[in-house]
Structure 1
């Protein structure tokens, strides 16, 4: 049994008990081939729940601090996140975005699922913020379909800045696959990249029911 299967078998029932997790539209995730899962990001536990509700393993970029912690807690976090598919990348500095993009492309070229939060960071107030165009570059470079998803309720169980999450109800909702083959070869056109990204974020907004803010979340946090 792989570590991913072991973690899912061990923690899946606990997650369903704690969060009463409801999954909608899981059949929209293709059973094979490269897929991009793109959704909203409300709180830390999003990245714990998403891998455990998907039949296929989801690979995603995470902060390298998640796997470099000290003590028992640090070791457990590293074991969990690397086991479910997190690939640590130092996203600070000018090369961080390029490293994340290339990592995502490699995962997709291998025929796997790559999960991404187009907002680039957690929402500071529960609203949905403008998506960054890395999601568009990935789908246009690889031809992988985009399956939008929405996390609903996680911010109520673990508000920003809080510690252990409360028990409660979480819904994970997946939308229909989106494909952008009509834009093939246009992954350097900034207008196309923005149009593709905005269309994905519109679907995420419809799935989540969040209010949309046409501003980057990082700018909102800084303000």
Structure 2
């Protein structure tokens, strides 16, 4: 009930302030496991995605978001978990495996799992090379992948910090991608790269971003 009320309230605020333009949301299957894979330009992408999609979207978030102290910490923990975030220690040595297994469990329960194949927010607004975890999830679970693009959210919250600004936002969803032809090949690195690149190609077409054949983490470090 709390999730429904929170989504109704925040959805109303979103429609009034940002009037997001949504394209292709009907392409998301109404039932069964679905992977939503898109670009990541600012912190609030997941919030907009959760409010736009009718079904609940689960996604991975840093465990620090729910480990805060005091009233503010408890409030943030309630907000993020109610919004569908599942906390995972991604900085540990097994963080990637934990995130992958969490996503697999969500999909095997017939739910929607949202993922950003770049692995982190874009450091400069361009689209970076996708990591192959998205491909492993798709091949292990057989879930269709629906690519999406967030456009304008980086203007709402530049740099991912500070008070949000009012700016136009567009969210586009592409046609579901079926990778059943690669069933049983989730350990073939060439197949994993091919699947990931196909997803990222669709995201690039939807977003209109310039593509950089480099991992975003390396670009950020440089």
Please indicate the TM-score interval, normalised by the length of the shorter structure. Answer: over 0.9
Alignment of 1:1-223 (within 5 A): 2-160=1-159, 162-223=161-222
CA distances 1:115-170 after superposition (whole Å, capped 9, x unpaired): 00000000000000000000000000000000000000011121115311101111
TM-score (normalizing by structure 2): 0.97
Name the Cα RMSD after superposition: 1.0
CA distances 1:54-103 after superposition (whole Å, capped 9, x unpaired): 10000110011111123443322211210121100000122000000000
TM-score (normalizing by structure 1): 0.97
Contact 1:153-1:170 at 8 Å conserved across structures: yes
Number of aligned residue pairs: give it. Answer: 222
Structure 1, unaligned runs of 5 or more:
none
SS of 2:31's equivalent in the other structure is coil
Structure 2, unaligned runs of 5 or more:
none
Q: CA 1:104–1:128 in structure 2 vs 1: closer, same or farther (change >3 Å)?
A: same
Q: 2-side partners of 1:132 and 1:40: how far apart? A: 12
